[in-house]
Amino acid sequence: MKYVNKGIPSVDGRGLMMGKPAYTDDLAEQGSLVVKVLRSPHPFARIKSIVTDKALNLEGVECVLTHKDFERIPITRAGQGYPEPSPHDKFVLDDYVRHVGDEVAAVAAVDTETALAALDLIEVDYEILEPVLDFEKAFGNKIVIHPEPEIHEMFPIGFDPANNVAASYMMNVGEIEKTLQECDVVVESSFYTQAQAHAMMEPHAVNARIDYMGRLVLYSSTQTPFHVRRIISQALKYPLSKIRVIKPRVGGGFGGKQCVHGELLVSAITLRTGRPAKMAYTRKEVFESTFSRHPMRINIRLGASKEGILKGIDVDVLSDTGAYGEHALTVFMVTGSKVFPLYNKVESIRFGGRVVYTNHTPSGAFRGYGAIQGNFALESAIDILCEKLGADPVEFRLRNMIREGETSPIFEIMGEGTEGTAMVMETCKLDYCIKRGMELIGWKDKYPGSKTGGGKARGVGMAIAMQGSGIPYIDMGAAMIKLNDDGFFNLLVGATEIGQGSDTILVQIAAESLGVEPEKIIVYSSDSDLTPFDAGAYASSTTYVSGNAVKKAADGMSRMIIEEGARILGTAIEDTVFDGVSIISGDRSITLRDLSNKLFYNENQRQLVSAESYVGTKSPPPFMAGFAEVEVDTGTGKVEVLDYAAVVDCGTTINPNLARGQVEGALVQGIGMTLFEDVVYSKTGSLMSNSMMNYRIPTRREINGMHVEFAESYETSGPFGAKSVGEIGIDTPPAAITNAIYNAVGVRVRSLPATPEKVLMGMLGKAVKENGHG
Amino acid sequence: MKVRFLVNGEKKTFEVKPDEYLLDTLRNNNYKSVRRGCETSSCGICTVLMDGMPVASCSLLTAKAEGRHITTVEGIQEDAELLAGFFGREGADQCGYCNPSIALACYAMKRELKDPTDEEIKAYLVGNLCRCSGYSGQHRAIRAYLEVK
Amino acid sequence: MEEAYGILNDGGENAVIGGGAWIRMLPRELDAAVDISGLGLGTIKKEDGRYEIGSMVTLRQVEMFKPFSELFNGIISKSAGAIMGVSIRNIATAGGSVAGRFGFSDLIPALLALDTSLFFHARGGISLEDYMESKDVGKDILTKITIKDHEGRGWFHTMKNTSLDFAVLNAAVSNSDGRCRIIVGARPYKAVPAYDAMKFMDECGGKTPAAIREAASIAAGELKFGGNQRGSREYRIELCKTLVERGLSEVFL
């Protein structure tokens, strides 16, 4: 392969480093109205009255919107395909507020200062309601968070708002109770994960204007421009055909920009005033008023025979969706569906539970999306089981895990809100990943751990993981390639570049198919007027789904070029080839440059355009093994990750450098969730960790050795053998690191993050008061 | 109040409020490469150079820049391009939102520290957060940039 | 200087700003912010056996001032360098960090472990230790911080969850001719000397590991600790034992 599996520089890095305006807020129109949102100080309240006269009378204020200005249309902000597997339980503005930071009113003014002054002049009389702040007490609570009659599910997802349930699910393979009874060893444990924040560097931003054709045009820092367009249309009852959503450069997403954010209010203001308007979230708003990872309690039971054969997995999940139900069911499903197939030989699996509403910041999509929570529980429990069995945890995994050519019943049973899709693992290099990872970390010498003196102890730990590649039969990606005079191409894709490198790798795929140099392909992505549809950057879809669409489109373009070339050369199509520069048949040839110029200006004039779409018929999982070596300060409990070895089977890496960047970045995000990123609420329901000062992501000083490698692997259903790589890297750190901590100092951390306090107090045998549970 | 200072070598006069921070002054005056990541002096995204030293423009009152030299990435285009080449080779660009601020901090570090160790590089840049790269690719690229004399 | 002092005391809600980096975080609005940048307080020099740090010297200047990297094993450089990132340390000032008496300060414990005095425009000189304990600090302008240059061993550690975070607990320990100082800060209350533990160390015969462990335990017993988002009271007590023991071992063994 000439351009695929090559670490070419990204197509956009140079311009971004040099400071070119590229992000949403850079592209707001001069003179835009500044939109600010009045947000609830209460976790749960009813707005008895809201008076905006004083705010409206302030000079420079152009518009104030409250719930009275909107028709009551329930929507979901989830940013998923339609109909969504998330409940329609949100109004643009409502007379209830359900979390601190929920929207009460929006103001548009000539500048920020005036808009903020106007917020202070809005008089709100709240009936303060008792909130539900403990997700373990939400189900069946007498306090009902969503009493409104209009809300509904789009198809059965176990929605039961009267009991504070956004979604619920239950499934069985085999007979779990019988299986566990027959097991020689059974372990049981509970694990808790926190509401990790995405903390992408660019806060959410959106701006809107009415263009000279009378259309509403938005720039938005979104991962799902086409879904955003649809949801604006639904929520504001404004014709879809009059809305254009442009996704400019996005400064990181990680799922945090899959859901709709300020697009609805800013659109409403521009439509009402006719004036351009802009909104940039403050970091506090990003923390309190967008979305975070679903916190979960995972109760797990594992059973095995004394020979070390895993027989049964029993998992009960309680997930906290916060005030609204975006991604409630689907994140929950992935907690099982992208974890259980790792151990495909078990006799019985039971999986079920509820996703409950609370008066906390809503949960939403986040890289790893359930899999990281499920992986933490399962891969921790496997180590606990191995200790009880006296089995080596690596040998145990090698013996019980899924292999190439095998399948799992889970694939067919569990999908994203609907049934799943049966599939056989065409590629699964987990055994290689484990063996290579052991070498990289030095497992044989270091397992389980050692005292290193000076108040330090070291340990190693590991975990295996899988993910998916898109959502089969649901999410579609499309691409168009057009030939220009002078013989270069435009590649138009709906796929959403958010920093993961999709524009670059899609160019590489097109270049490989066409055989032309990447410089000949000009990529433009995610503009609802100009590019074809794509579901968006989520569910590890882009390389596999959008990449396949690009490959099909490029293959189509190659055929067109050969057809036109053969016609001009007067040769038979089957005897004619395109080598990336010229169209050749025998001793006759014409360059693409000459051909395209002829097609534009001289002969049989026509525009060559190839457009294709792709929807997956399966979702081949990437796999990986993660190995952590930690050093624990036995006097402070501080954990340092000395080394992290990750060996990934993601099929062909379209761009090995960018793929490595995806895995390294995901590992550090996973390390952050595991060790540092504590989410703290006050007793009265305010998020205390609502700033970059109080919510601490890893700095570069927390990161030491990191070894990322890829297994040789070729998935024939993927473009040039590729599977996905965006999410898989985040899944292993929680279990691998906490297993390593256990192997270093004998403390089993079951509640993330594994702060120094939890580790030290565990070593001292003292109880730790954990955040909300413990 | 009126504040006068140099931006990328050009004399500028800005009419600002006494409590205005440099980040807002620059962005309001179309220096769009200077961006906001937080409001709590915690992320480093808004870094510019003042008399060659990195400062967080979100935390520097514009009035305090009076008479000083302020540099944005537009003032160090050659070095930014050089660093971009190394970032590209490592696949470390990612979302790019923090990249101009990293370029400025690296430019200053290259002039302030002599042959820094890995630990010294990390200590100098610790206030420049990145959520995409996992830092490793950035670190390899920055090392390569520092080696260009 | 007189003008600045006059404005500060004109009856309004006025304050001196150091670097100005933290004004946004203030829970109150100011009528006037007094900037003393132009008053020549931005240098470090040595006079009469004491280092004089002008109050407008940035934390980065303190960190990089060569003699501080050697004085008492460099605890002043280490503590100043532990605060936020370079781009904040190039703005925030030594005077601002000290005058505010913040509990989270990393610089104050190291200064308290040495012989440090403050000089104010109106009230004149005061030891840092007395300043930390004085009830009413009034509206005055800090002009300089002075540190006696003398021989001794020092140790400073700040326990943070990540490198950019505020301390869960910090401690500075010094040994000057056998005289011991033990300072514990971020408890989360403001840094104070552990007098009983210091007295124990000064009076105990042999500075043995057992004596040091005892002193650490005394410090953890005599000081007041609290819980906040960064750590519980109980955890801070354990951390205090560990850090003080490590510090004393470093400067005495």
Q: Distance between CA atoms of A504 and A519, rounded to whole angstroms? A: 11
Q: Which domains does chain C have, with CATH numbers?
A: 2-31+44-148 (3.30.465.10), 153-252 (3.30.390.50)
Q: Do B56 and C22 touch (CB under 8 A)?
A: no
Q: Write the residue in A637, A688, A769 that is nearest to C232 by C-beta.
A: A769
Range of the structural domain that residue B130 is part of: 76-147
Between chains, do B59 and C163 touch, taking CB under 8 Å as contact? no
C33 close contact with B: CB closer than 8 A: yes
Residues B63 and B12 placed together within one structural domain of the fold: yes
Structure tokens at C156: 């400073």
pLDDT tens sequence across A128-151:
999 999 999 999 999 999 999 999
From CA C43, how far away is CA A485, in angstroms rounded? Answer: 65
Nearest to A292 by CA among A257, A264, A246: A257
- Domains: count for chain B: 2
The answer to whether C168 contacts A756, with C-beta atoms less than 8 Å apart, is: yes
- Per-residue confidence (pLDDT) for residue C10, from 0 to 100: 86
Q: What are the tokens at A104?
A: 């009460």
Whether residues B58 and B120 share a domain: the answer is no
Residue of chain B minimizing CA distance to C86: B124
Query: Do the Cβ atoms of A326 and A77 come closer than 8 Å?
Result: yes
As a three-state string, the secondary structure of A713-774 is: CCCCCCHHHECCCCCHHHCCHHHHHHHHHHHHHCCCCCECCCCHHHHHHHHCCCCCCCCCCC
- Both B23 and B40 in a single domain? yes
Pair of tokens at residue C192: 């104070």
Count of beta carbons in the 10 Å neighbourhood of residue A275: 18
Q: Is residue B47 less than 8 Å (CB to CB) from chain C?
A: yes
Q: Which residue of C has its CA nearest to A762?
A: C235
Q: Is the dihedral of CA A265, A267, A268, A272 positive or negative?
A: positive
Our CA-based measurement puts residue A156 at a distance from the nearest CA of chain C, in whole angstroms, of 41
ipTM at complex level: 0.98
Q: Which helix (H) or strand (E) holds A429?
A: none
Closest residue of chain A to C239, computed from CA coordinates: A636
Beta strands in B38-125 (DSSP E): 47-50, 53-56, 69-71
Q: Which of residues 692 through 711 in chain A touch C, CB cutoff 8 A?
A: 693-694, 696-699, 701-702
Tell me the chain B residues in contact with residue C23 when contact means C-beta distances shorter than 8 Å: 19, 61
Determine the Cα–Cα distance for residues A217 and A248; give it in Å rounded to an integer. 12
- C243 contacts in A (CB within 8 Å)? 635-636
Q: Which residues of B touch C87 (CB under 8 A)?
A: 44, 47, 54-56, 105, 127-128
Same-domain check for residues B8 and B63: yes
CATH number at residue B102: 1.10.150.120
Query: In this complex, which of A635, A699, A764 lies closest to C164 when CB atoms are compared?
Result: A699
pLDDT digits (tens, 9 = 90+) for B71-95: 999 999 999 999 999 999 999 999 9
> In chain A, which residues have their Cβ closer than 8 Å to the Cβ of B139?
700
What's B62's domain CATH number? 3.10.20.30
Q: What pLDDT score does C32 carry?
A: 83
Residues C77-130: tens digit of each pLDDT: 999 999 999 999 999 999 999 999 999 999 999 999 999 999 999 999 999 999
* pLDDT of res. A579: 97
Residue in C closest to A754 by C-alpha: C161
Q: What is the pLDDT of residue A771?
A: 44
Tokens of C106: 């990393």
Specify the pLDDT at position A150.
97
Nearest CB among A689, A697, A757 relative to C235 is that of A757
pLDDT (0 to 100) of residue C18 = 83
Q: Are residues B88 and B29 in the same domain?
A: no
Residue after which a domain boundary falls, among B48, B74, B100: B74
DSSP type of residue A249 = B
- Chain A nearest CA to B63, separation (Å): 19
* Interchain pair B126, C23: CB under 8 A: no
Looking at B40, B74, B108, which one is the last position of a domain? B74
Residues with pLDDT less than 70, chain A: 767-774
Residues B50 and B67 in one domain: yes
Helix (H) or strand (E) holding A330: helix A328-337
The closest alpha carbon to A635, from C253, C81, C220, belongs to: C220
Q: Which residue has the tokens 């004596």?
A: C211
Please check whether residue A203 touches B, CB under 8 A. yes
Q: Which residues contact A134 (CB under 8 A, 6 or more apart)?
A: A358, A772
**Helices and strands (DSSP H and E) totals, chain C:** 10, 11
Q: Which of residues 87-146 of B touch A (CB under 8 A)?
A: 87-100, 103, 122-123, 125-139
Q: Which of A17, A201, A283 sits opposite B83 (nearest CB)?
A: A17
Alpha-carbon span A567 to B117, nearest angstrom: 63
Q: Are residues B106 and B62 in the same domain?
A: no
**C contact test, residue of B24, B61, B68, B111 with most C CBs within 10 A:** B61
Residue found under tokens 């993961």: A500
Distances from the Cα of C93 to the Cαs of A244, B69, C37, C110, C115, in angstroms?
49, 20, 10, 16, 20
Name every chain A residue with its beta carbon within 8 A of the beta carbon of C21: none
Between the alpha carbon of residue C164 and those of residues B41, B125, B127, C64, C168, the distances in Å are 11, 11, 7, 19, 12
> What is the nearest CA distance from B113 to chain A, expressed in angstroms?
17
Is B37 in contact with A280 (Cβ distance < 8 A)? no
Asked which of B51, B74, B97 is the last residue of a domain, the reply is B74
Nearest to A249 among B33, B40, B96 (CB): B96
Q: Are residues B122 and B80 in the same domain?
A: yes
| One domain, residues B52 and B105 | no
Q: How far is C239 from chain A (nearest CA, A)?
A: 6
Question: Given CB atoms, is A501 within the 8 Å cutoff of chain B?
Answer: yes
Strand duo A449-453 + A456-466: pairing: antiparallel
Residues B61 and B86 in one domain: no
Q: B90 with B58, same domain?
A: no
Residues of chain C with pLDDT under 70: 24-27
A142 touches C: beta carbon within 8 Å: no
Domains of chain A as residue ranges with CATH: 15-129+201-252+257-289 (3.90.1170.50), 296-470+618-763 (3.30.365.10), 474-615 (3.30.365.10)
Interchain contact B78–C (C-beta under 8 A): no
Q: State residue C84's pLDDT score.
A: 94
In this structure, are B83 and B135 located in the same domain? yes
Smallest Cβ–Cβ distance between A676 and the set C162, C166, C246 belongs to C162
Instruction: Find chain A residues with C-beta within 8 A of B135's C-beta.
Output: 664, 668, 698, 700, 703
Identify the helix (H) or strand (E) that includes residue A609. strand A609-615
Q: What confidence score (pLDDT) does residue A562 get?
A: 98
Cβ(A391)–Cβ(A308) below 8 Å:
yes
Residues 6 or more apart whose Cβ sits within 8 Å of residue A367: A198, A254, A255, A666, A669, A726, A727, A730
Is B91 within 8 Å of A659 when comparing Cβ atoms? yes
The pLDDT of residue C17: 83
